[in-house]
Structure 1
Amino acid sequence: MEPRATGSVVQARALGIHPGRQDDVSGKLQAALDDLAAAQGGVLELDAGRYVLDDPLFIHGSGVVLRGAGKASTTLFFTRPLRDSIHANTNWSWTGGQIYFTSRERLAASAAENWDWGTNECWLAGPELTRLAPAARGTDVLIVDDTGPITPGEMVLLEVSDPPGPDNRLLREMAGDVAGARTYDWATRAPRLNGTTWTWPVVVTEVLSARTVRIEQPLRVSLHPETPARLRSLGPTVHDSGVEDLTIENTLLTQTTHNINPGSNGVCFHAVHDCWATDIHVLNADVAFSMTAAKSCTLTGISAGGRSLHHFTVTRAASHDNLVQDFELEEFTVPAVPGSYLHGINVEWLSSGNVWRRGTLRTGTFDSHRAMPFENLRTDITVANTNAVPGGALDAGPFFGARTVHWGIHVTTDETLCMDITDTAPRSLTAGITGVSKPGSRLRGAGIDFEGDLESERLAFGTDLGPGRDLLGLQRALLPIA
C-alpha cells in the first residue's frame, strides 16, 4: 500500500515532549497517540533528538502515524525489553515490538491467555457471514450460501478448515499436490499442522447476486467439500497506521541463547492490515521487525544493526501479502553469542503472498521456518548468507509449500544454504542465482521435505539478470496498478 495519513498533525513539542532529557516520555507519547486514535487519526511529529522511554508505544487506532525527523535524526531509546515492561515470558523471541501496532482487544486477548502465543495470536474473528461452495484456485468469484450479511468494500476473514485425519487435502493443496505431498505422513511429521484452519483476510469488492461475490484477490487455494470454507467478519483490528523516519534503539543487553530473548524488539504488526514502517532503523534488537497475522503491510527503507539479533524480519501466523523493500541488515557490532541463532528474513506458518525485494543482507540467510509458507517471493537481494540457519519447530512439517520463488539473488560468499530451492520446494522457481558455484539448497534430506518429483524449475543459474533482477518490478511494468 502507499502510506497515507489523515487528520491533524500534532507537534510533540507543543505537548511538552522534548528530546535530550533523561526523563521517561513514554506515558506522554502514549497519551498523544491515544488522543489521535480517539480523533479518528492524525500524525504525531517528533523533533530531531533522543527521547528516553521506559515502556513500549502502542498504536491501537486506525489512521495514526508516528513520525520522526529522519532515522539519522530522531531516536527513541527504550530502557527496558518487553519482558520487563509488558510480561515476563520468552515468546518475545518471535513477536512484539517497542512500537506495537495492535488493537486493544487483540492485546487484551493475549494477556488473558497469559501471552501464550502458541494458542492465541491470530485474528480476532467476528460472526460467520456465509459458507462457500467448492471453488478452484485462481478464481475471484465465489458462490456462497447467502450474500445478505456481506457489505461490498469490507475486508472479511476467509477460513478454510482441514479436518484432522489422513487426507489433509488443504495441506496438499498448499504443497502443490505433488506426489510427495500425497504420501507425506502429516500426522507424525507435521502434527502442528494436522487439523489446521487457514485464515486469509480479503476484501469483498462486489456482491454480484444473491449467491455470488467477487473478491479483490484471486483465491489462493482450491476449496473442496472436504475442506469446509466460510467467510467471517473481521474482528477488532488496526489499519492505515504507520511509523516513519526514526531510529528505535534498545538498551544494550547481552544476547541470550536461542528462544529466550527478553524482547529488545523494534516494530510489530499484530493482527492489523494496510499499515506501514518507512525509513526505520533498529539497534540492539532481538527481533527488529515482526508481522504476526499481518495483512498488506509495507516496510520500506528499513534497516537494523548494533549487536547480533535473532530475526531481522519475521513473518508468521498466517501473515499475507506484505511487502518488505529497500532493506538492509548491517554487519553486527557485537557478534552472536554461543547458543543463539540468526535467521535473517523469515517466513513461516502458512503465510503467503509476501515479497522481499531490493535488499542487502550483510549477514543472515533466507529463513523459511517450516510450517509450510507458500507462494512467497524473494527478489533482487544481495546476501552474504553467513552465520545463519533456517529454523522452525521440528514437528511443524516442511520448510516450503508451493510456488516459492527466489529470483535475481546474488550471494557474496559462495554459500548455497537456502538459495537455490528447486531441490526442496514443490512447484517452485529459482532464477538468476549468482555467486554460488553449484545448485541446491543443502536442505534436501533434512527428514521433513517431500519425496519424489517436486515439479520445480531452475532457470538461468549463474546468470545475472541485470535490470530484470526485480521480478515484482517486471510484473508491475507489465500489469500497472490502477
Structure 2
Amino acid sequence: MGIFKPSIKTIKSTSYQLLKGLGGGILILLSLSSTAVTIDNLNRDLPDFSYAGYKNGAEPLAFATANTINVADYGAKADDGNDDTKAFHKALAAASDSDSPIVVQIPAGRFIVSDILYLERDNLILRGAGSGATTLYFPRPLRYLPDPPELAELRQYLKTMNKRQREKSHNIDLAFSQYAWSGGFIWTRIKNERVKPYLEEYDQQPAPLALPTQGKRGDDRLKVDNASQLRVGQIININWYNREGKDSPLLKAIYPGVEVTGSHHWNFPNRPLVSQASRIVAINNNTVVINDVLLHDINGLTTDITQKAYLQNIGIEEFSIEFPRSAYVAHHVEQGFNGIYLTRLFDGWVKNIDIINADSGILSEESANVSISNVATKGDHKAHYTVAMGDTHNLLAKNITVNNTAIHPLSFNTFSTKSVYTGCEIYHAPILDQHSGANHQNLFDNITLHATLDTEQLAQRRYPAFKGGGAGYWKPTHGAGSSFWNINVVFKNGLDVAKPITLYGVDDGPNANVIGVHGNTDIDIEYGPNANIKMQNKAIHQAPSLYQYQLQQRLGGE
C-alpha cells in the first residue's frame, strides 16, 4: 500500500463532472479557471491520512463483549445529590478482575464523581445511556486530589525549569499547573508508566528489537537486520533519531528548505525525534509488513524498532461530562477541570460525549489508532484545549463541535503525526493550531470556522485563522506535509467591504498543503514557506473530506 498515485491526466473542462473510474475508483473533475484538475491529481502528492482512527478506519467502533457490569449494582444512585465515586471505583475494580471483554454500564441520570476513574485493562467499554441521558458531574478540580504518580516527572520539570505564566498587564506571575496539558478525570493508564519524557535523568534507553535496514516513506513494508524478536500482531515503535545535529538528514526530511531554530531538535539525541506506533501484520524472512505506512525513509537515517506497553480496545461513550462554572485565572495555570486523558492507548475510541465547562475536554499522549467522534464542548468557562492531540499517531477526531471559547480550539501538539481533524465546526474565536515540536503530516479536513472580526481585524481585513503555538525551543511550527483541505470560513461581519480578508498566522511551517480554503467572502492566504496553495476561494463539493476520500480509495469502497 502507500500513497494512491493514479495515472489519470488532467482533462480540459469548464464544468464539474463526476465519473466512475475503473475498478470502482472515482474520478472527480473540478473546474479551475479554464482547466480542470482531478481530485486524484490534488491527492497524488499528499500524505495518505486514511489510516487514522480505530483499527485504521477499517472496522466499526465496537467489539464483542461477554459481560456487563452496572455501576448501580455497586451503589451508584442517580440524581440523589450524593457522591458516587466509591461505587464507580468498585465497578471498575470488578471489571479489572474479569478476564473477558466487558462493559461498565452507567444508567441514565446525574452521578457525582470526585476522583479519577482509571481505565487500566484491555477490552473495556465505559458506556452511558446517551450524552443527553447520562451525566457525570465532577464538582472539584484535579488540583484538590492527591498528585498522580505518573505526573511526578512533569511536576519536577515545571519546578526545575521555573515554568511560570507571566502577564504584566494582568499582574500575573504564577507557576504552571501540572494540569495545563495533562491529566483527566477519565484516564486510560498503564500504572507507573512514564506518560511523557521531560527530564533526561529519567531516560532509559530500551534495547532495540530489530534495526531497520531498508524502507521507503509511504510504503507498508520495511526490511530489518533480524526479525527473530518480532511477531505478527505485535505493536512496535519505529523510531527515527537525530544524532547528527542541526543539519541532519532527518531534520531536512521533516523541515525541507528551512532553518530549524528549536534546540530540542538536536539536544536529545537518544530520544526519538519521530516515533511511529504500528502493528505488524506479516513477516516474511526479514521483511516486515505493518498496518499503516512509513512516515519517512529508512535508508540514510538513524532508526531502530522498540516496544512500549499499550492498552488496547478501550471505548468511552454515550454520556456527558460536566464541571461547575469557575473563574478563568490565566493560561497554563488551569485547576484541572479536565475530562478525558488518553495515554498509552492503541486501538480505542471516544464517541458521543458532551463536555461542559472544562479546562480541557480531551487530551492525549503516546496513543495511536484512536477515533474520537461526535464530541461537543460547551459552557461559559474559557478552556485551554477542547480536543487536543499530543504525541499521537493515526488519531482521528471526527465531528467535533466547539461551542465554547478555547485558547486552542483544535490543536496538533508536539510529536503528532498522521492525525486528522475532520468534519469539525468551531463557533467561537476559531483558529487551527499547530503547536510545534516535530509535528508533521497532519490534516485539518472539511472544517467550518465561524469568525467575528474585531475592530482592528476589520480595519486591516486580516484574520489569524492559522496559529503556531508552543515554545521557541521546538520551532518551527510544523514540518512538511501538514495539510488543510476544504476549510470553510464563515465571517459574521465585514461582508460589506469589497476587499478580500487575509487569513494568516503561520510563517515558519514549511511545505504545507492549503487546498480548497474558502469563505462567505473572498479571502487571501498568507502561509509560508513553500506552501502548496490551490483552489483558493473554491469549496470542494465533490470530495469534501480528503480523509474519507483516501479511506474509500484504500478500502476499495465508494
TM-score, length of structure 1 as denominator length: 0.85
Match of 2:129 in 1: 69
Match of 2:395 in 1: 322
Contact 2:486/2:545, CA 8 A, preserved across alignment: yes
Match of 2:523 in 1: 438
Residues 1:480 and 2:555 aligned together? yes
CA distance in 2, matches of 1:396, 1:418: 20
Amino acid at match of 2:481: R
SS of match in other structure, 2:179: helix
CA distance in 1, matches of 2:367, 2:556: 22
2:117 to 53, 57, 63: 57
CA distance in 2, matches of 1:160, 1:254: 43
Residues 1:20 and 2:104 aligned together? no
Amino acid at match of 2:304: R
Kindly provide the CA deviation profile for residues 117-145 of structure 1, in whole angstroms up to 9, marking residues without a partner as x.
Answer: 6349x999964211111432123222212
Match of 1:135 in 2: 215
Structure 1 residue runs of 5 or longer lacking an equivalent are 111-115, 333-340, 445-449
1:468 to 540, 543, 546: 543
2:346 to 273, 279, 300: 273
CA distance in 1, matches of 2:350, 2:205: 25
Contact 1:373/1:400, CA 8 A, preserved across alignment: yes
Residues 1:301 and 2:381 aligned together? no
The 3 A distance-change label for structure 1 pair 343 and 232 is same
2:385 to 298, 311, 328: 311
Cα RMSD over matched residues? Answer: 2.5
Match of 1:95 in 2: 182
Contact 1:152/1:206, CA 8 A, preserved across alignment: yes
Return the offset for 1:439: 2.5
Return the offset for 1:365: 1.1
Return the offset for 1:295: 0.5
The 3 A distance-change label for structure 1 pair 416 and 82 is farther
CA distance in 1, matches of 2:89, 2:275: 31
Match of 2:247 in 1: 167
1:193 to 241, 265, 275: 265
SS of match in other structure, 2:407: coil
Structural mapping, 1:194-343, within 5 Å: 194=266, 195=269, 196-197=271-272, 198-209=274-285, 211-225=286-300, 227-235=301-309, 237-306=310-379, 307-316=381-390, 318-332=391-405, 342-343=407-408
CA distance in 2, matches of 1:174, 1:264: 35
Kindly provide the CA deviation profile for residues 237-286 of structure 1, in whole angstroms up to 9, marking residues without a partner as x.
Answer: 21111111111111222112011111111111112111111100111111
CA distance in 2, matches of 1:476, 1:159: 25
Match of 2:231 in 1: 151
Match of 1:381 in 2: 447
Contact 1:367/1:418, CA 8 A, preserved across alignment: no
Kindly provide the CA deviation profile for residues 295-339 of structure 1, in whole angstroms up to 9, marking residues without a partner as x.
Answer: 0110010010112211112111x211011111100045xxxxxxx
Structural mapping, 1:349-364, within 5 Å: 349-363=414-428, 364=430
CA distance in 2, matches of 1:437, 1:369: 28
CA distance in 2, matches of 1:257, 1:417: 27
Structure 2 residue runs of 5 or longer lacking an equivalent are 1-53, 55-59, 149-154, 156-176, 455-463, 495-500
Return the offset for 1:50: 0.6
Match of 1:457 in 2: 532
The 3 A distance-change label for structure 1 pair 155 and 352 is same
The 3 A distance-change label for structure 1 pair 361 and 201 is same
Contact 2:276/2:295, CA 8 A, preserved across alignment: no
Match of 1:3 in 2: 61
Match of 1:427 in 2: 511
CA distance in 2, matches of 1:77, 1:9: 23
CA distance in 1, matches of 2:203, 2:446: 32
Aligned residues: 442
Amino acid at match of 2:411: N
The 3 A distance-change label for structure 1 pair 297 and 432 is same
Return the offset for 1:147: 0.9
SS of match in other structure, 1:97: coil
The 3 A distance-change label for structure 1 pair 322 and 394 is same
Amino acid at match of 2:472: L
Contact 2:503/2:524, CA 8 A, preserved across alignment: no
SS of match in other structure, 2:392: coil
Amino acid at match of 2:265: L
Contact 2:420/2:442, CA 8 A, preserved across alignment: yes
Amino acid at match of 2:524: P
The 3 A distance-change label for structure 1 pair 390 and 174 is closer
Amino acid at match of 1:98: F
Contact 2:372/2:396, CA 8 A, preserved across alignment: yes
CA distance in 2, matches of 1:32, 1:437: 55
Match of 1:365 in 2: 431
Return the offset for 1:217: 1.5
The 3 A distance-change label for structure 1 pair 20 and 305 is same
Amino acid at match of 1:45: Q
Amino acid at match of 1:34: A
Residues 1:412 and 2:490 aligned together? yes
Return the offset for 1:390: 4.1
Contact 1:156/1:233, CA 8 A, preserved across alignment: yes
Return the offset for 1:476: 2.6
- Greater shift, 47-56 or 465-474, is seen at 465-474
The 3 A distance-change label for structure 1 pair 395 and 331 is same
CA distance in 2, matches of 1:146, 1:15: 51
- Greater shift, 135-144 or 237-246, is seen at 135-144
Amino acid at match of 1:193: H
Contact 1:21/1:52, CA 8 A, preserved across alignment: no
Residues 1:403 and 2:478 aligned together? no
Return the offset for 1:374: 0.8
CA distance in 2, matches of 1:375, 1:331: 28
CA distance in 1, matches of 2:199, 2:87: 33
Contact 1:365/1:390, CA 8 A, preserved across alignment: no
The 3 A distance-change label for structure 1 pair 331 and 272 is closer
TM-score, length of structure 2 as denominator length: 0.74
Amino acid at match of 2:423: R
